[in-house]
Amino acid sequence: MMEFPPDQALLEEKNTLLQSCGLDEQMMFYKWESWCLQRDNKPVLNLDNFKAFAADMRTQMERQVRATLRDKPEKKTTKTKLGMNFENMLGLPAKSHDSKNSNSNHPVPPTSDAPSLTDESGRVLEALNAHIPSASTNANGKKPASTEITSSIDPRAYHYRIMFQKLQDSSEVLDDRIDLFSAIVCDHYKIADEDLANPSELTQEMVTVVGRVVVDSNTVGGRLNTNSILIETSRRLGAGARVSLKLDEVSSYSIFPGQILALKGSNPSGKTFVAKEVLPLPPLPFSVSSKEEIENFNNKANNQPISIYVASGPWSLRDDLSFTPLKALVSYLLENPIDLVILTGPFIDINHPILSTGNIPDTQVTSLEDFFKERVSPILSKISCKCILLPHINDAISNHPAWPQDTFDRHTLGLPSNFICFPNPCIFSVNEVVFGISTNDILLHTSKEELFRTPTHGNLFSRLVAHVIQQRHFYPLFPGGSLDRGNPSNIDISHLKLGELFKTVPDVLILPSDMRYFAKTVENVISINPGKATKGVGLGSFAKLTILPYPLDSSTPSSDLLHNAQSRTKVEILKL
């Protein structure tokens, strides 16, 4: 809801607008957000700006009324054309619908209507390595750069049955994660395994412990604060015991539930482990390639830069299912061709207001897969370059709404052969550059649970990304987001190992989020949130990557070459 300043003239103007346009305050708030978004969120809520907003709303209403009177067909009966409804999908008798109750207020234009791009489309909102020139495959008549996409993931591992978690399997996965980091810490700091202590045992000496951060369940609301931190051990190290953790003597930390910590401290009372130091976890190494491999990739790419678009759903505005943002992106792509497109869901959002009614207007299909083929596939099929698709847990067309999440079925969705469907999360390579992507919103979820004091990374986005890199997992938060807090994560605990970062860290880490878009280098990893294609009331943003070819010469070693993507990759966040 909008909060109005105590200005009588402004309140009168608001009431006049509500009465004249037949709006409620919630709808007025949405339209105000959209109006501000078109003006880069600069307008403040004052009398002059609100008068300009009200004038625009009245003008829009007049146009809609004129269009309705001009285009309204003459009907002799009240019989309406039924859209797709869930009664039809389940084989139940269809409910009767008359013209008053139909969803004709939400007309959906045909998929052939491509939106006209504005001067704002393609405007750079933020850039990383702005000194690197942008590349385009249609420049100077050059041939497009060839991209080779490879992945070592086993798709069969993601075909598991959801909602069949066993308590023992889940506990073993969580336990194994603590033991994994215990071995890493021992190896890095040259500590004998038997020297790792149980934090719940009374000790006056300084000891090293490894455990998981847990929120004290007795705390009201279950939020992490300085008085509600517990450290949990594995069954091997301390019989899974939990004990209160005090970080008052630690000058710098950033923690969240589920994080694995290595600590130095003591437990003089037997009831509280008092930490003196948080030991940094050793980083994962980067992938390397041989000189021969990179030379081969450079030749295939014609020694040209590789250009990539990355965009994330949802792909429909809040008030219709015409997929306007997707049409806008594809239109921009056709005018500005590149080498590879990476698109993430949700493509048909299960939480969309129209979809949640169970009755989709102006369609005769009887399944969501057919609806995708009718509305979305024709738009996507206009993309001629390679295109990678990743699902989202809110995708209505996915029969696997748990994370880690199985791939889309390209054939079921009627997509051409240039489309590649990967699971969520996934790690793959574009030529020699390694990409990692997860569409579960770990950035937003962690930001709501994090507790910190003078952290190493002062920037919020850099700190959230660093958690993913340091914890070696696409979703290190546990327990994850919840439906009660409006940020469900749908985690299948027994399959959390599918979310690990394997043995190396990606060169490029893409984490689509509802938080503000960004492009940063975090711990030498290019980290990107391309933003959302829409947040419901207007077009959003997407990312463009330009990756320069690896510079080779006679002095270049023949093996174990770091990719150094952070120094030869330009990232631009563009307005859709």
User: Between 146 and 68, whose confidence is greater?
Assistant: 146
pLDDT of 330 strictly over 90: yes
**Structural domains of the chain ordered from first start:** 8-72 (no CATH), 124-153+287-575 (3.60.21.60), 167-279 (2.40.50.140)
Whole-number pLDDT of residue 536: 81
Peptide bond into 479 cis (omega under 30): yes
Among 436, 441, 455, smallest CA distance to 526 is for 436
Q: Assign 139 a pLDDT band (cuts: 50, 70, 90).
A: very low
Model confidence, pTM: 0.80
List pLDDT tens digits, range 175-194: 999 999 999 999 999 999 99
Q: Is the pLDDT of residue 391 over 70?
A: yes
DSSP, collapsed to helix, strand or coil, labels residue 254 as strand
- The residue that leads in pLDDT, 486 or 227, is 227
Give the helix ranges, DSSP H, for 144-262: 167-189, 235-238
* 150 within 8 A of 478, measured Cβ to Cβ: no
The rounded mean pLDDT for the chain is 86
Q: Report the distance separating Cα 317 and Cα 352, nearest Å.
A: 9
pLDDT band for 32, please (50, 70, 90 cuts). Answer: confident
**DSSP character at residue 403:** B
User: Cα dihedral sign for 459, 462, 465, 466?
Assistant: negative
Residue 86's SS3 state is: helix
pLDDT at residue 80 above 70? no
> Which uninterrupted H or E stretch holds 20?
helix 8-21
Which positions ≥6 away from 267 have C-beta within 8 Å?
A: 199, 200, 201, 202, 203, 243, 273, 274
Residue 118 in this model has a pLDDT that exceeds 80: no
pLDDT digits (tens, 9 = 90+) for 488-536: 899 999 999 999 998 999 999 999 999 999 999 999 999 999 999 998 8
Q: In this structure, what DSSP letter does residue 382 have?
A: T
244-280 residue pLDDT tens: 999 999 999 999 999 999 999 999 999 999 999 999 9
Q: DSSP assignment of 41-80, as one string?
A: T---SSHHHHHHHHHHHHHHHHHHHHHHHHHPPP-SS---
Residue with more model confidence, 486 or 434: 434
Q: Would you state the structure tokens that stand for residue 412, as one six-digit string?
A: 């079921």
Q: Which residues pair with 149 in a beta bridge?
A: 430
Name the more confident of 519 and 38: 519
Handedness of CA 519, 522, 526, 529 (dihedral sign): negative
CB 514 within 8 A of CB 299: no
> What percentage of the chain exceeds 90 in pLDDT?
64
Four-point Cα dihedral 257, 260, 261, 262, nearest 10: 160
Residue 408: how many CB atoms within 10 A of its CB? 26
Tell the burial category of 41 from Cβ atoms under 10 Å away from its Cβ (0-12, 13-18, 19+): exposed
CA separation for the pair 301, 295 (Å, rounded): 10
Of 115-119, 152-156, 348-352, 438-442, the poorest mean pLDDT is in: 115-119
Task: Give me the pLDDT at residue 428, please.
Answer: 97
What are 23's two structure tokens? 């709006």
Closest CA to 287 of 7, 524, 108, 120: 524
Helix residue ranges, H only, 267-408:
291-300, 324-335, 353-356, 368-375, 377-380
For residue 191, the number of C-alpha atoms closer than 13 Å in the C-beta half-sphere is 21
Of 53, 99, 106, 54, give the one whose Cα is nearest residue 80.
99
User: Which residue has 């020297």 as its token pair?
Assistant: 195
Among 379, 364, 388, 366, CA closest to 332: 379
Rounded to an integer, what distance in angstroms lies between the CA atom of residue 85 and that of residue 89? 7
CA-to-CA dists, residue 135 to 139, 142, 453, 530, 576, angstroms: 8, 11, 42, 18, 18
Q: Which amino acid is at 258?
A: G
Structure tokens at 174: 């969580």
